[in-house]
Amino acid sequence: DAKTTQPPSMDCAEGRAANLPCNHSTISGNEYVYWYRQIHSQGPQYIIHGLKNNETNEMASLIITEDRKSSTLILPHATLRDTAVYYCIVRVAGRDDKIIFGKGTRLHILP
């Protein structure tokens, strides 16, 4: 699976949009971009995934650049409950094998 690069930490004011970047410059054509988050003391939680088109669900939006070398996870109205470590992962379509979690971005939502 392609390697991803994320900033180690970010701050965002409560109520504002949180934009979390991820670089995946070596991504290949059949690799999807996945985002998970881990709130303190809980297991990681799936957020969203995409291949090349922008995606939106009830939790977040995923913006993937046209060259697919980077993406941004957007939490439109961040709340204190969004404080967590956010992981960006790329992996080949249809595979069941392990996901390797990197260090992620620790997002602090400021009141």
Partner 1 sequence: GAGVSQSPSNKVTEKGKDVELRCDPISGHTALYWYRQSLGQGLEFLIYFQGNSAPDKSGLPSDRFSAERTGGSVSTLTIQRTQQEDSAVYLCASSLPGGINYGYTFGSGTRLTVV
For partner 1, the binding residues (CB under 8 A) are 32, 34, 36, 38, 41-46, 49, 93-104
* CB-nearer residue toward partner 1: 14 or 55: 55
Please tell me whether residue 35 adopts helix, strand or coil conformation: strand
* CB-nearer residue toward partner 1: 94 or 111: 94
Task: Write phi, then psi, for 81 (nearest 5 degrees).
Answer: -70, -10
Give 83: exposed, middle or buried? Use CB within 10 Å, 0-12, 13-18, 19+. middle
Strand partners, 62: 55, 73
CB of 42 to partner 1, least distance (A): 6
CB of 44 to partner 1, least distance (A): 5
* CB-nearer residue toward partner 1: 2 or 14: 2
